[in-house]
Structure 1
Amino acid sequence: MRASSADSSGGPPILHFGKLESPLTTYYLLLGVTTTLVVFGLIMVFSASSVESLLAKEASYTVFAKQLLFAVIGAVVATWATRWPVRWWRRIAWSALIGAVALQAAVFVPGLGVAKGGNLNWLAIGPVQVQPSEFAKLALVLTGGAIFANKGSLVGHWLHAVLPFVLPISAVVLALVLAGQDLGTGLVMGLIVTGVLFVAGAPKRLFIVGSLAVVAGIAYLVATSSNRMSRISNWLDPACQSDPDSWCGQSVHGMYALADGGWWGVGLGGSKEKWKWLSEAHNDFIFAIIGEELGLPGTLLVLVLFGLLAWACYRLVTRTQDRFVRVASAGVMVWLIGQATINIGSVIGLLPVVGVPLPLVSAGGSSLVTTLLALGMMLSFARNEPGCRALLDARPSVIKRTLSVLPSRLPSRPARLRSR
């Protein structure tokens, strides 16, 4: 590590960490963390869902097989996305928004919309069910980046910050999601809008007014829903939070799982809570199963991986000179890290249970494919960092390296055989 002189803005000296300053660092960090989380998630989905599948008289790998299929689809989509130039992402922003709004509105069409857990947020397309709100998250990111890419100092004015993005676009998307009673997804979308506006340079008074409006909106949504009201009151009730047979049973059993895991866990596959005690063990509460089976090292691994993912996204935000890339990268960072924080906070009891999956880890096809598509976009941004594309294109392929080394390692034939 070495310190350079102060930067051109007169700030403190910039610390350089050797190879961490390589143009390839962000690209490989995103790729490595994403791959690790997906593989780790597949392992834990298989462990957490196997018992439930057997009790349902299905093969133990039923849920795992579906998640593996979606992981393969997501990997293909992400690989395709990494090859897209930045200008293409800007071009599809409005098309993505229109498509996302149309799909989200379609959940209210009888025969198409499917309700799960009290939320009308699913769309039945033949034998496949998709969650349009997951695609709407990416559409918000792309649209925010496209709108603010060329605003410059105009973003500091209310008309340029509020009218183009907050009122007609974000409000419509959020209204459709909240109309389906999905408050958890609405909170994540609110974080995306906040992150996009903050990095774009929106005026500070907008966040003050916006925060008051959001608090008032959440209070109204909670007060007008007996289900949400009971969730909040029970979350604040110590007696409920200690009774495994009460309304708070899911949270209590999640804490039991973490407590049973202790320091080193009970071993992969050894969870007791997944035997019908803890609902949504392979989905919203998979973090509890990780803590029970893998102990503190398993939970810390998840936290470290999401921390590295946040750092990789932050590198893109701070290093790029393209405003679209900066705003869109910030949107994805707030989306994934915010959603992970809400999920983990719900499991450990710091937040009420709102029902959002742990990105890349929880079971769920729409979430996994969309998240991998968003991270594929981030990889395409990283490829366009100064010097990154040139270094990636200059790498010899695995086949070329193998062919270049193989002949030198093969024993030469005797002279008499060569003469024949």
Structure 2
Amino acid sequence: MTARSAKPASPRPARRTPAKVRPPRAGRRPAGPQGFLTRAKRAWDRPLTAYYLILGAPLLITVLGLVMVYSASQIKALQSGLAPSYFFRKQLLAAAIGGGLLLLASRMPVRRHRALAYPLLAGSVFLLGLVQIPGIGVSVNGNQNWISLGGPFQVQPSEFGKLALVLWAADLLARKEDKKLLTQWKHLLVPLTPVTFLLLGLIMLGGDMGTTIILTAILFGLLWLAGAPTRLFAGVLGAATVLSALLIKTSAHRMSRLACIGATDPGPGDQCWQAVHGIYALASGGLFGSGLGASMEKWGELPEPHTDFIFAITGEELGLAGTLSVLALFAALGYAGIRVAGRTEDPFVRYAAGGVTTWIMAQAVINIGAVLGLLPIAGVPLPLFSYGGSALLPTMFAVGLLIAFARDEPAARAALTARLARKPVSGRKPAGVRWKTMRRRVKRRPSGER
């Protein structure tokens, strides 16, 4: 009997070691839509975001406004026997002066802004009183709200009244907040409401309903920022509504404007001609417009194509893309103003930034709403965009206020200081810093490693 040879044992299969999963590298950004949203949110929350938005959005609005004023006003100038660039040259001059005012306001400290409050308010009241004196006040389109400066130059004091109200009210409310007086309703209303009503009365004597609506919006915005209780807020709103209804009811001209909301036909006597042709201009623009300078409505069909209804000409020549761009710029400016007002610890800065933001946004909504047929035509220009030096100058000064406030935020000030510290001197770059590259600027390690 032979012994059976034993089978060699089959080797065991080697145990597979699971592949090591590398932990995510520190600081690596997630990819895909989520990563894009994360990066966008981080960029939006940076300390200097509001500063750059306030610096860039008004500049773009003003430049685009100059282009559209030149395009929209040429036919109007020729019909008046003037050079085609007449209105553009006046607007360019106003923009240059306004740029100087913006730079001045952006460099002034907060205490200087507060020092301007009472002199500016007194000057505005004085000029508004002069407007009503025969021989001094000038009537334009049925409203006596202008003072002639000689030649073709006129000034509208009510536009400066907006800036005066914002600065004076911000200083007043800040002083009362420091003394813990804003918890009493009488300190919320007095003397803020009587002084505002004084300005409203002087402006309404000239028949300017649009500016009174904006001043009322500024008053409500300041009361909301001051923490007015709901019943007090509702009471002031109710009184303003009743007063506005009386003023509209007693004027056939204002009633006709109210009747043109949503109109698609000029109506009897062509009372809705302007509103309807504004809609025609927007409708004919399409997605990208008929081309810069190719508007048909500005050839005598649409009244005030370079002032109150310049947004309609923009829609006709630049299309939906152009009008959405303008809306996006105003939205960016409004967001930045609200952010400055919400993040500051200085009461004056909070009230002034909130008042300026309310002023610009309310005026933009009223103008664009009228062009779209959603609101009555109030006769107010589109801020920084429409023709008119009297409206442009105080608005650019107000934007300069926002720039100064945005730069003075603690986080923004620290970021600007750090950026200036890294700035090269005399054009020489810091040692070890790579420029001319799309990658982040990182210092090289001594060993040459990245």
TM-score range, shorter chain: 0.7 to 0.9
Letter in 2 for 1:134: E
Note the alpha carbon deviations across 1:160-184, whole angstroms, 9 max, x for none: 01112112x1111111011111000
Partner of 1:216: 242
Asked if the contact 1:284–1:356 (Cα under 8 Å) also holds between the matched residues in 2, the reply is yes
Following the alignment from structure 2 to structure 1, what is the Cα–Cα distance between the partners of residues 321 and 156?
32
Matched, 1:141 2:166: yes
Identity %: 47
Matched, 1:56 2:83: no
Following the alignment from structure 1 to structure 2, what is the Cα–Cα distance between the partners of residues 313 and 256?
34
Following the alignment from structure 2 to structure 1, what is the Cα–Cα distance between the partners of residues 293 and 77?
14
Displacement of 1:75: 0.3
Asked if the contact 2:132–2:205 (Cα under 8 Å) also holds between the matched residues in 1, the reply is no
Asked if the contact 2:261–2:374 (Cα under 8 Å) also holds between the matched residues in 1, the reply is no
Letter in 2 for 1:204: T
Following the alignment from structure 2 to structure 1, what is the Cα–Cα distance between the partners of residues 383 and 197?
24
Following the alignment from structure 1 to structure 2, what is the Cα–Cα distance between the partners of residues 350 and 234?
9
Letter in 1 for 2:228: A
Structure 1, unaligned runs of 5 or more? 3-14, 406-420
Displacement of 1:246: 1.3
Asked if the contact 2:145–2:206 (Cα under 8 Å) also holds between the matched residues in 1, the reply is yes
Note the alpha carbon deviations across 1:131-187, whole angstroms, 9 max, x for none: 1011100111111111111323532322101112112x1111111011111000000
Displacement of 1:58: 2.2
Partner of 2:293: 269
Displacement of 1:325: 0.6
Three-state SS of the structure 2 residue aligned to 1:154 is coil
Query: Residue 146 of structure 2: which of 114, 117, 122 is its match?
Result: 122
* Alignment map for 1:260-409 (pairs within 5 Å): 260-392=284-416, 395=419, 403-404=427-428
Matched, 1:250 2:250: no
Displacement of 1:114: 0.7
Matched, 1:194 2:220: yes
Following the alignment from structure 2 to structure 1, what is the Cα–Cα distance between the partners of residues 40 and 74?
47
Three-state SS of the structure 2 residue aligned to 1:273 is coil
Displacement of 1:228: 1.2
Letter in 2 for 1:159: K
Note the alpha carbon deviations across 1:40-70, whole angstroms, 9 max, x for none: 0000000101122223332211111110000
Partner of 1:27: 51
Asked if the contact 2:260–2:373 (Cα under 8 Å) also holds between the matched residues in 1, the reply is no
CA 1:310–1:52: 2 relative to 1, 3 Å: same
Task: Tell me the TM-score normalised to structure 2 length.
Answer: 0.82
Displacement of 1:109: 1.6
Displacement of 1:112: 1.4
Asked if the contact 1:156–1:203 (Cα under 8 Å) also holds between the matched residues in 2, the reply is no
Displacement of 1:203: 2.2
Note the alpha carbon deviations across 1:253-297, whole angstroms, 9 max, x for none: 111101110122101110000001101000000010011001110
Matched, 1:177 2:210: no
Matched, 1:226 2:252: yes
Three-state SS of the structure 2 residue aligned to 1:63 is helix
Letter in 2 for 1:216: V
Asked if the contact 1:50–1:60 (Cα under 8 Å) also holds between the matched residues in 2, the reply is yes
Asked if the contact 1:82–1:380 (Cα under 8 Å) also holds between the matched residues in 2, the reply is yes
Note the alpha carbon deviations across 1:108-133, whole angstroms, 9 max, x for none: 12221111111111111233210101
Query: Residue 186 of structure 2: which of 159, 164, 171 is its match?
Result: 159
Partner of 1:36: 60
Q: How many equivalent residue pairs?
A: 389
Following the alignment from structure 2 to structure 1, what is the Cα–Cα distance between the partners of residues 54 and 355?
15
Following the alignment from structure 2 to structure 1, what is the Cα–Cα distance between the partners of residues 268 and 240?
33
Following the alignment from structure 2 to structure 1, what is the Cα–Cα distance between the partners of residues 71 and 426?
37
Partner of 2:36: none
Asked if the contact 2:143–2:208 (Cα under 8 Å) also holds between the matched residues in 1, the reply is yes
Three-state SS of the structure 2 residue aligned to 1:171 is helix
Q: Which has the higher helix share?
A: 1
Based on CA coordinates, which of the two structures has the bigger radius of gyration?
A: 2
* Alignment map for 1:85-124 (pairs within 5 Å): 85-124=109-148
Note the alpha carbon deviations across 1:198-248, whole angstroms, 9 max, x for none: 101122212111111111111111122121122223447x5x745597111
Following the alignment from structure 2 to structure 1, what is the Cα–Cα distance between the partners of residues 62 and 55?
11
Displacement of 1:402: 6.9
Letter in 1 for 2:325: L
Following the alignment from structure 1 to structure 2, what is the Cα–Cα distance between the partners of residues 343 and 111?
31
Partner of 2:435: none
Displacement of 1:17: 2.9
Following the alignment from structure 1 to structure 2, what is the Cα–Cα distance between the partners of residues 80 and 234?
42
Three-state SS of the structure 2 residue aligned to 1:60 is coil
Displacement of 1:400: 6.9
Partner of 1:418: none
Asked if the contact 1:241–1:251 (Cα under 8 Å) also holds between the matched residues in 2, the reply is no
Partner of 2:69: 45
Letter in 2 for 1:26: A
Return 144-153 or 89-98, whichever deviates more: 144-153
Query: Residue 230 of structure 2: which of 177, 193, 204 is its match?
Result: 204
Letter in 2 for 1:165: L
Three-state SS of the structure 2 residue aligned to 1:121 is strand
Letter in 2 for 1:86: V
Asked if the contact 1:184–1:354 (Cα under 8 Å) also holds between the matched residues in 2, the reply is yes
Return 367-376 or 158-167, whichever deviates more: 158-167
Q: What is the Cα-based RMSD across aligned positions, in Å?
A: 2.3
Asked if the contact 1:261–1:294 (Cα under 8 Å) also holds between the matched residues in 2, the reply is yes
CA 1:242–1:225: 2 relative to 1, 3 Å: closer
